[in-house]
Structure formats: structure tokens, C-alpha cells
A and B are shown apart, each in its own frame.
Chain A
Amino acid sequence: MTIDIQNISKRFGQTQALDNISLKFGQKKIYGLLGNNGAGKSTLLNIITGRYLTDDGILTLDGEPLKDNDKALNQIYMLSEKDYYPETMKVKDAIRWASVFYPDFDEKLALKLTEKFGLPVKKKIPSLSTGYKSIFKIVIALSANTPFLLLDEPVLGLDAGHRDMFYKLLIERYSENPCTIVISTHLIAEVEGLVEHCMIIKDGRIIKDAPCEDLLNRGYSISGPAALIDDYIKGKDIISSSNLGGLKTACLNGAMPNPENLPVGLEAGKMNLQEYFIQLMKEGEVKGNE
């Protein structure tokens, strides 16, 4: 099963939220949708699930248009930042209703998870704290059993223990019954090991769309005395550079050189996903200033 997004754009007033985006989600992989606040992550996910309409472009699930297609849309569960529950609805009622909307919803699992997280089932949803609201949404999402699971900032307001619990439960769920998962988050370091394929979104555009491993093999950092570094990076594809006294660190595009081929005094290192992401975000700033 594949969700195919072709040339989607979305404008809110003066703001171009999404600018000609084309993507594919399929193959039962875990995708990371990474971007800064306001980059367009939520807008994109809301468009996939039909909560927002697109200005133009085509959205399909296995070739069938997604728009107004309940059968196709029922294959997708989205955990969103906004909640749309009636003010008087209790946690346990919401769990019961979820099984009406999602035929494969696992009510037993949902109740088990509420216990595991210590989520009070008799409380009304709007009266839950931020953290417990997130837990409530996670419980529903993990029990939805749809082929597609879109998670928009799933760990918002969760403490470290509960975040860890969530990641473990997500892996367990994925191992038992593989599905396509899209996680949008700004806590990149936490999902680095989890995510197989990365989509990096910036100012409404997809700037990277590749397996995480490939992405990290495309760049490296190099540090050493400023004069030596300046010499070394001349003519190379520089993402960013910074100075600390006489010590300079530069991030470059390209494969990491063999340490033996480096001039003495220089040290090369790979970047982790978070470092790479931060450097990519800087790249635009530098160009914007020019």
C-alpha cells in the first residue's frame, strides 16, 4: 500500500505553507518527517487525512484518490496536535467510539495501555493535563491497527519515562504487525534510531527525501586549526562552518575522507541526524544573508 502525493501546494492567506510537494509513503517503513516549527509538517499530514483541502495537486492511496474517499481514509489513522473530542467525552467513551470508526481498532489493547500509562479512563478528555492528553492520543493511535499511522508530534508534553515507553510500544506494535508509520517531530535525536527514511521539510518544501543512512553518509564534519581548515575546505561543498577561538569546525557535503588521507591536525567525524539537520537549517540562513 502506498500513499502517493503529487505536487501538493497550500496557501494560508499570505503564507505559502506547502510549495509543490511530492512524496511517497509505503513499504511498511517508519518515516521521519522532520522540520522546524512552522515548516509545514502538520499542514502536510492534515492534507493527507483530508482535514485541509489542497490548492492543487493529487493525493492517492494505491491509485485511488483520497479526497472524500472514506474507504481509503479509514486506512489511515492520524494522531494530531489538535483534538476534536466533545467537551463532555470521557476517555473510556472515546475508546469505545474509536472502535466504531476504525473496524480493526483493538479495544482490549487500548484498555491495557491506559493501565500501563496510568491514564484515568473516567476523566473527561478536556480535563486531562497536556501530558495525559498526549498519552490518551497515543493509546488510541497504537490501538488503531490501520495500515497507515501518522503521528504528528506524538510525545508533546510527555516526560522522559513516558516518551521512552511510547517508543518501545511503537516498536513492539510495528514488529508484531508492520505498518507504515510517519512520525513528525522536532525531537530528532530521540527518533534517530527508529526512523528508516527521512523527509526534511523547510519553508513548505521537501529539501531531503532519502534513507537516513544515505543521508548521513552524504555529509561529514571536520575540525582543526582555522588556517588548516580554511585550506582544506577551499573548493569543497560547505554546508556551514563555525569558529571557536583558533579552532574551526566545518560541515561539508560529500563522503567522509579516510583519516589517513587527512592533513595532520585535522579530525573528521560523521554527523548524527540532529547535527546534520541543524546544519541544513543553517545552510539556508547563510544563503539568505548573501
Chain B
Amino acid sequence: MQPSFDTNKPIFITIAQWLEDAILADIYTEESQVPSITEISIQYNINPATALKGVNMLVDSGFLYKKRGLGMFVAKGAYDKLLERRQQQFFEDYIKPLVIEAIRLKITAADLQAMIERGYDNDN
């Protein structure tokens, strides 16, 4: 899993989302340690201040917490809280742009619905 740096998002947001994704993918499980600011900065060639800003977003939301002298750890309950938040954002993040593109391509709501069902079928 890699953070995807694109122009429309500041780098610290990309880092925060990448950490969230990694928690949701069980790469960093609850009560386990996440990489240090230095490790993240070196891995992605970014300024440590930027990496810190991204990590602090998760600290502020209560997904990560700091153990003095040890580093950052995933908080208890972080997975469920993240899942809930991402589900709430799903409409804004995915459905809205999907519908805009569908309208541009003259795809009707019924066609779109059929495609979504096909997508679910393929995944099972």
C-alpha cells in the first residue's frame, strides 16, 4: 500500500489518508506501532514537518496515540471509528463523482445500478 501523491491534495493529507487506509487494511492493527515521523519522511522524501502534520491529524481524531519515548500507536477502537467515518464519506467521495461522470457519458441511473450489481457479482 502506497500513498498516492496527487496535486489536488496537500501532502500531509495524503499521508494521513495513507495511514488510515493502512489501519483499515489491518496493516497497522490496534495497539501496534506505526512508522516514526523520520521513517515516513525518509521513505517518501518529504519534510518531517509535513509528515508530522499528517500523523497529528490522526492523533487529533483519536486514531493514534503517543507513548512517551516509544512512538505512535494505533488506538483501541480506531478501526471501527475509521470504518464508520469512511462509510459516511462514501457518498461525497465516490458516489458524487461517479454520478457526474455517468451523466457526462449519458449512463442512466438504471444502467448504473445494473453495473454496480455486476461489480458486486464479480467480487463474490
Contact-residue size bin, chain A (C-beta under 8 Å from the other chain): 20 to 34
Shortest beta-carbon distance, A150 to chain B, in Å? 18
Bound CA span A193–B47, Å: 6
With CB as the reference atom, state the residue of chain B lying closest to A271. Answer: B7
Measured between beta carbons, the chain A residues less than 8 angstroms from B41 are 171, 175
The answer to whether A171 touches B5, judged by C-beta atoms less than 8 angstroms apart, is no
Bound CA span A195–B5, Å: 15
Bound CA span A5–B38, Å: 31
The answer to whether B45 touches A164, judged by C-beta atoms less than 8 angstroms apart, is yes
Shortest beta-carbon distance, B37 to chain A, in Å? 7
The answer to whether A167 touches B45, judged by C-beta atoms less than 8 angstroms apart, is yes
Chain B contacts with A in 11-43, Cβ cutoff 8 A: 11, 37-38, 41-42
Measured between beta carbons, the chain B residues less than 8 angstroms from A167 are 45
Instruction: Identify B48's interface contact among A174, A195, A275, CB under 8 A.
Output: A174
The answer to whether B10 touches A193, judged by C-beta atoms less than 8 angstroms apart, is no
Measured between beta carbons, the chain A residues less than 8 angstroms from B57 are none
The answer to whether B46 touches A172, judged by C-beta atoms less than 8 angstroms apart, is no
Question: Given A171-B38, A172-B38, A193 and B44 touching (CB < 8 A)?
Answer: yes
Chain B CB within 8 A of A115 CB: no
The answer to whether A194 touches B45, judged by C-beta atoms less than 8 angstroms apart, is yes
The answer to whether A175 touches B45, judged by C-beta atoms less than 8 angstroms apart, is no
Chain B CB within 8 A of A272 CB: yes
Bound CA span A270–B14, Å: 14
Chain A CB within 8 A of B8 CB: yes
Chain B CB within 8 A of A30 CB: yes
Mark each residue of chain B from 36 to 80: 1 if its CB lies under 8 Å from any CB of chain A, else 0: 011001101111111000000000000000000000000000000
The answer to whether B47 touches A30, judged by C-beta atoms less than 8 angstroms apart, is yes
The answer to whether B50 touches A193, judged by C-beta atoms less than 8 angstroms apart, is yes
Bound CA span A206–B10, Å: 25
Measured between beta carbons, the chain A residues less than 8 angstroms from B42 are 168, 171-172, 175
Chain B contacts with A in 81-119, Cβ cutoff 8 A: none
Instruction: Identify A272's interface contact among B7, B37, B46, B47, CB under 8 A.
Output: B7
The answer to whether B38 touches A270, judged by C-beta atoms less than 8 angstroms apart, is no
With CB as the reference atom, state the residue of chain A lying closest to B37. Answer: A175
The answer to whether B45 touches A168, judged by C-beta atoms less than 8 angstroms apart, is yes
Chain A contacts with B in 56-86, Cβ cutoff 8 A: none
The answer to whether B10 touches A213, judged by C-beta atoms less than 8 angstroms apart, is yes
The answer to whether A194 touches B38, judged by C-beta atoms less than 8 angstroms apart, is no
Shortest beta-carbon distance, A214 to chain B, in Å? 11
Bound CA span A10–B124, Å: 70
Measured between beta carbons, the chain B residues less than 8 angstroms from A193 are 5, 11, 44-47, 50
Shortest beta-carbon distance, A156 to chain B, in Å? 18
Shortest beta-carbon distance, B18 to chain A, in Å? 13
Q: Could you list some 24 contacts between A and B, CB below 8 A?
A: A29-B49, A168-B42, A168-B45, A171-B41, A171-B45, A171-B47, A171-B48, A174-B48, A175-B38, A175-B41, A175-B48, A190-B45, A193-B11, A193-B45, A193-B50, A194-B45, A194-B47, A195-B47, A196-B50, A213-B10, A216-B10, A270-B8, A272-B7, A275-B7
Nearest first, the 10 A-B pairs at minimum CB distance are A193-B46, A175-B38, A272-B7, A167-B45, A168-B42, A171-B41, A270-B7, A270-B8, A171-B42, A196-B47
Interface residues of B (CB under 8 A from A): 5, 7-8, 10-11, 37-38, 41-42, 44-50
Interface residues of A (CB under 8 A from B): 29-30, 164, 167-168, 171-172, 174-176, 190, 193-196, 213, 216, 269-272, 275
Q: A171-B42, A193-B44 are in contact. List 16 more A-B contacts (CB 8 A).
A: A168-B42, A171-B41, A171-B47, A175-B38, A193-B5, A193-B45, A194-B45, A194-B46, A194-B47, A195-B47, A196-B47, A196-B50, A216-B10, A269-B8, A270-B8, A275-B7
